[in-house]
Amino acid sequence: MKKLLLTHCLLLWAVLGFAQDELQVRGNFSIEGQYYQQDSAISAVVPDEQVALQGFGNIILTKGKFETGVRFETYVPAFVGYPAGAAWDGTGLGYRYAKYNGDKIEITVGNFYEQFGSGLILRTWEDRGLGVDYALDGIRVVARPADGITLKGLYGKQRFNFDDGFQNGDGIVRGADAEFHLNQLLDSIINLNGQWFIGGSFVSKYERNRSAAFDFPENVGAGSVRLRYQQGGFQFSGEYAHISQNPTKMNSQIVDIPDSLSPSTGIFQFGQALQATTSYSRKGFGVSLTASSLANMAFQSQRGADAFDSWINYLPPTSVLQTTLLAQFYPYATQPNGETSFRGDLFYTIPKKSLLGGKYGTKIVVSYTHVQAPDFPEVPGFDENREGVQPKLFTWGDDTYYADFNAKITKKISKKFKGSLFYMNIQYDNDVILGAYDYENVAAKGKIYADLIAFEGDIRLKKGHNFRFELQALFTDQHLQDWFAVVTEYTISPHYFFSAVNQYNFGNADGDKFNFPVVSAGYIDGGNRISLSYGRQRAGVFCVGGVCRVVPASNGLTVTLTSSF
Amino acid sequence: MIRKLILTFTAFSLLLFAHAQENSNTSSIPSTNVKSLEGKTFDTANFSNDGNPMIINFWATWCSPCKKELNNIAEVYEDWVDETGVKLVAVSIDDARSQSRVLPYINGSSWEYEVYIDENQDFKRAMGVNNVPHTFLVDGAGNIVYSHNNYAPGDENELYEKILSLSNQ
């Protein structure tokens, strides 16, 4: 740690001292504070401190080809429910690096984020709002020796938790990636139609085996190959990945391991995945199809890591991310241990001045997602070989984990008014996804079938003034039953916004018909924004990648200040 | 103890340099790599509009205010280009989950923008963007002269006034 910091300072001075180009400084800040109130009716959580404050500041210095950056972070303490796994606590350095950015080579020492291909075997990333930070800490080299060739190599440990400074986990991650743009590469030999890209990656992790009872593989390797093709409005991309035998805490859930056989040890099996997507679009029309299957794909840099921690790869949910308030009751979370999924999207604009298009045209977006449980063939003799199942791709089990159909029509009626109508039908297995919570902050049981309808209107008032409203209703016989929500928002460009939102559990025949009102106001000036909000928050989950974070119910005042410079 | 000292030292030296920088408010576009819709790697430091002003806008297919902003600008974009020569570069931060929806969405919306994908948010990080939408205005010499976070209908008028004042200089 000391050595790294010292190296950092030296590099910093070297960067600032020797390069001749002009020094540039940029960065951003974010501070969020929350005051929690008692609200036992909804089991609102109040931390002992009553007030939580968290924030960060990034500063990046660039001079010619040299760059260095740091991020300070503070959690005094972190928000309730903010990251569920390892602790984030205290104030200190969250990230620091030095980088040389040459024409053909780029070298980074310190922390970095990287993605190979679509991320199936490596994507280290951050989402500060969600409390996700999988930064690697080590060295990365990116080389572009010739047009159409990109080579990457990296070596490092991974951020695990934060205790007055970031701390890395035990595992070591090593990887290499190559991508070739065939058109540029084969320019002199053949003339290809369309744009062709091929690529391949190799990633391995090392973690010492501290178990006397089990012969855990200390090195676990993963490889992937990918192809991307595009011509005009047609696009195809696909990636296949394979991970060698990888027993972890996560994959122990694939089979019912009897208590007599150390249940949390995991199964000694390989993993694999295939993802492909193809789309065609032209002016006013687009269609896209996605197919994906995962089998034993949890790839984390620590064998005993919890569901939220130390992810090396990124397994995005196949479903479309919905931002409609009531649709967030039932977010899909990827099942890294196994799933088979499909999605189809349709985009269509009914042309202007046609019968249905009207003066401005009408936009239609339709999407369907289906995610099915896998049906892995069992491998007998579990107590001797600990293999359990055969991780095959595109198997079709009995259980539908998730399905949704949704459609949205958007139409501008006049210069002053624009409206949209949204419908969604959701099928959700909460025993598997664990995304729906009740008023005791406990996951609801069983399958949930829900219909959602939402109407949004946007009214332009006098210059710079705009009023937006949403009326939403969600109908289900399961979970907390029926809901109604109203969203209103008044904005005065370019500085002010005010909003009032209420979610009302009107159809709850078995319990209290709670209201969840929230009012907020904000001021924006260029890259700076301050906002205040006060009200009740439902219990729910945030899901990203293969990762979900449970946020318990709360009630109180939140202040947010963000700034970019 | 030593660790704290080094930390403090680093923080102070950064502040010092940040302060020394305060009076020369030029800031150009940092160099990171994004992908074009065709899949080609593109260095963001090479974004340019032949001496005319340029807008860089961060958006995503799942972000409603972002789409509202770009759709509202799309209605007046032709006039803006004619009058000022401005160009809009739309940088999508969609990751592997929603990237396949970017091209169909753009074609479906008939945008005339130059669109790039910042799939692991390297460019977003380098530009100090907290959340989307975030819009930057770059002058003809490549300096970032204005930025705006969030979107409320009507914000495009303020942006256009800034563009006009640039092209009148």
Sign of CA dihedral B122, B126, B130, B135: negative
What is the distance in angstroms between the Cα of A379 and the nearest Cα belonging to chain B? 33
pLDDT at position A547 is 61
Share the mean pLDDT of chain A: 91
- Which of A347-356, A533-542, B68-77: highest mean pLDDT? B68-77
**Residue holding tokens 């929500």?**
A485
Q: What is the mean pLDDT of residues A280-299?
A: 95
Token pair, residue A275, equals 């993802």
pLDDT at position B21 is 45
- Strand runs labelled E in A430-514: 447-460, 465-476, 483-492, 496-504
Q: Scanning every residue of chain B, which has its alpha carbon at the shortest distance from the alpha carbon of A560?
A: B130
Residue of A9, A26, A349 lying closest to B10 (CB–CB): A9
Residue-range domain boundaries for chain B:
25-167
- Percent of chain A scored above 90 by pLDDT? 75
Q: Which chain A residues contact residue B41 at CB under 8 A?
A: 144, 150
CB neighbour class for A377 (10 Å; exposed up to 12, middle 13-18, buried from 19): exposed
CA distance A231 to A499: 45
Taking only the tens place, the pLDDT of each residue in A218-250 is 999 999 999 999 998 999 999 999 999 999 999
pLDDT at position B19 is 47
pLDDT interval class at A510 (50, 70, 90): confident
* Contact criterion met (CB < 8 Å) for B129 and A1: no
CB-based contact A181:A197 (threshold 8 Å): yes
CA distance A215 to A211: 7
CB-based contact A64:A12 (threshold 8 Å): no
Taking only the tens place, the pLDDT of each residue in A18-69 is 545 789 999 999 999 999 999 998 889 998 899 999 999 999 999 999 999 9
pLDDT interval class at A1 (50, 70, 90): low
Q: Which chain B residues contact residue A113 at CB under 8 A?
A: 120-122, 125
How many beta carbons lie within 10 A of that of residue A498, not counting itself? 13
Taking only the tens place, the pLDDT of each residue in B79-103 is 999 999 999 999 999 998 899 899 9
Q: Which chain B residues contact residue A458 at CB under 8 A?
A: 68, 153
Taking only the tens place, the pLDDT of each residue in A440-470 is 888 889 999 999 999 999 999 988 999 999 9
CA distance A212 to B93: 46
In 3D space, the residue among B153, B118, B97 whose CA is nearest the CA of residue B43 turns out to be B118
CA distance A248 to A331: 25
A236 touches chain B (CB under 8 A): no
Q: How many CA atoms lie within 13 A of A350 on its CB side?
A: 17
Strand order in the sheet with B33-36: B41-43, B33-36, B114-117, B87-92, B54-59, B134-138, B144-149
* Contact criterion met (CB < 8 Å) for B3 and A5: yes
Q: Scanning every residue of chain A, which has its alpha carbon at the shortest distance from the alpha carbon of B7?
A: A5
Q: Which chain B residues contact residue A150 at CB under 8 A?
A: 41
Paired sense of beta strands B114-117 and B87-92, if any: parallel
The number of helices, as runs of H, and strands, as runs of E, in chain A is 4, 30
Paired sense of beta strands B33-36 and B41-43, if any: antiparallel
Give the architecture-level CATH label for domain B25-167: 3-Layer(aba) Sandwich (3.40)
CA distance A410 to A354: 15
Identity of residue B47? F
pLDDT interval class at A385 (50, 70, 90): confident
What's the ipTM?
0.92
* Contact criterion met (CB < 8 Å) for B131 and A562: yes
Residue of B2, B7, B108 lying closest to A286 (CB–CB): B108
CB-based contact A343:A369 (threshold 8 Å): yes
Q: Which chain B residues contact residue A125 at CB under 8 A?
A: 95, 120-121
CA distance A412 to A19: 54
Say whether pLDDT at A121 is over 90.
yes
pLDDT at position B54 is 97
